[in-house]
């Protein structure tokens, strides 16, 4: 799992496109799912060791990977939240959007900009700030 993480973990890309961000978000969901399955197996191994009176094994890269994965997962879940809200606007027809939703859309971008400015500057927040500023 550590090798897979090293190969697929998001890179600090300052020229990230929306399509790349969506793809990276999907990769992060897959990695998080794999991590959850691994944690379940580790818990089972630890239970079995305790049951049989054996010493619990040490997992070499567990702590390093856990911290990196948690940090990236928090960042990319922010992108997922943003995308869900953005997708809601895209479901509206243009006529409805133009008359009713435009100001909600504008308020959404302004509130996101304020929220992002106060956050840690990682690849996701920089990308979203660039997206919001382009608006």
Q: Is the pLDDT of residue 77 over 90?
A: yes
Q: Give 135's pLDDT tier (boundaries 50, 70, 90).
A: low
Helices 62-90 and 123-134, interaxial angle, to 10°?
A: 20
User: Span 125-132, mean pLDDT?
Assistant: 88
Most confident of 7-16, 78-87, 105-114: 78-87
User: Span 24-37, mean pLDDT?
Assistant: 93
pLDDT, mean over the chain: 87
Task: Return the pLDDT at 84.
Answer: 94
Q: Is the pLDDT of residue 95 over 80?
A: no
Task: Return the pLDDT at 12.
Answer: 78
Residue 85 has φ and ψ, to the nearest 5°, of -65, -40
Q: Which long-range contacts (CB under 8 A, 24 or more apart) does 125-130 make?
A: 125/75, 125/78, 126/14, 127/16, 127/21, 127/79, 128/78, 128/79, 128/82
Task: Return the pLDDT at 21.
Answer: 93
The residue extents of the domains of the chain are 2-134
Per-residue model confidence as pLDDT tens digits over 60-75 = 888 888 889 999 999 8
**Distance in angstroms (rounded) separating the CA atoms of residues 25 and 22:** 5
Q: Is the pLDDT of residue 97 over 90?
A: no
């Amino acid at each position: 799992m550590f090798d897979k993480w090293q190969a697929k973990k998001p890179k600090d890309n300052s020229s990230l496109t929306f399509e790349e961000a969506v793809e990276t978000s999907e990769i992060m969901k897959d990695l998080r799912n794999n991590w959850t399955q691994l944690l379940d197996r580790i818990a089972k191994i630890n239970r079995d060791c305790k049951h049989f009176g054996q010493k619990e094994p040490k997992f070499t890269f567990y702590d390093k990977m856990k911290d990196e994965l948690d940090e990236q997962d928090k960042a990319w879940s922010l992108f997922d939240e943003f995308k869900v809200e953005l997708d809601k606007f895209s479901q509206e027809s243009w006529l409805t959007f133009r008359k009713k939703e435009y100001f909600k859309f504008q308020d959404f971008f302004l509130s996101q900009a304020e929220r992002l400015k106060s956050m840690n500057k990682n690849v996701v927040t920089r990308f979203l700030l660039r997206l919001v500023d382009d608006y």
